[in-house]
């Protein structure tokens, strides 16, 4: 950790980051796309309504299909961060403007733009080696590439994405993934 990161940690009460009692872990998910992406659309294809991501890279427009199981796992992560109680996702319908997520405990609509931002960040979590330490208050997330430390608590994070833009950030996603059972 750099000196400035340690100072930041001390100032924000993150001294417990260095606790030797908690081993950091890195969320083990496969990237949806193996580079940072700008998602253009989420739609479905075929009679089976397989989810499809349409995105831009420097090489132009590309797309890829996502299995329904992987797609459900992604949105289960999203709902858990948002505090939506559920134990299972039954179905996800993708419309022009939103994702309609049916769970065993009710239905939630997610605005398409919000869904696209979440998926882009979810993909970044798979690409960046974020280190998560779960603590009683939530989680401390260290980004070794950017030398930043973020504290995730229920309903928020100390990073700029959350404080100024109120968008679910990669730290919240990483912390949530470390608490979800792997299958």
Residues that bind Zn ion (CB under 5 A): 150, 157, 159, 162, 169, 171
| Shortest reach from residue 141's CB to Zn ion, in Å | 7
| Shortest reach from residue 94's CB to Zn ion, in Å | 27
DSSP string computed for 90-125: EEEEE-SSEEEEEETTEEEEEEHHHHHHHHHHHHHH
Cβ distance to Zn ion smaller for residue 107 or 179: 179
Place of tokens 């109120």: 166
Task: Please state, in angstroms and rounded to a whole number, the distance separating the CA atoms of residues 58 and 76.
Answer: 31
| Shortest reach from residue 158's CB to Zn ion, in Å | 7
Cβ distance to Zn ion smaller for residue 89 or 141: 141
| Shortest reach from residue 171's CB to Zn ion, in Å | 3
Cβ distance to Zn ion smaller for residue 149 or 169: 169
Cβ distance to Zn ion smaller for residue 122 or 162: 162
Q: How many CB atoms neighbour CB 125 within 10 A? A: 25
DSSP 15: G
Strand order of the β-sheet with 50-57 is 38-45, 50-57, 60-65
């Amino acid at each position: 950790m750099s000196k400035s990161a340690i100072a930041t940690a001390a100032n924000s009460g993150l001294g417990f980051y260095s606790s030797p009692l908690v081993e950091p872990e890195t969320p083990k998910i496969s990237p949806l796309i193996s580079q940072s992406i700008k998602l253009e659309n989420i739609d479905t294809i075929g009679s089976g309504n397989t989810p499809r991501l349409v995105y831009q890279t420097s090489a132009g427009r590309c797309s890829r299909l996502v299995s329904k199981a992987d797609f459900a796992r992604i949105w289960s992560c999203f709902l858990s961060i948002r505090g939506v109680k559920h134990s299972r996702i039954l179905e996800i319908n993708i419309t022009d403007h939103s994702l309609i997520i049916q769970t065993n405990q009710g239905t939630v609509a997610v605005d398409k733009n919000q869904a696209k931002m979440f998926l882009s960040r979810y993909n970044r979590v798979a690409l960046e080696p974020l280190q998560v330490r779960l603590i009683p208050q939530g989680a401390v997330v260290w980004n070794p590439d950017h030398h930043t430390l973020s504290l995730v608590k229920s309903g928020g994070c100390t990073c700029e994405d959350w404080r100024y833009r109120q968008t679910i950030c990669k730290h919240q996603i990483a912390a949530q993934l470390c608490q979800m059972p792997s299958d």
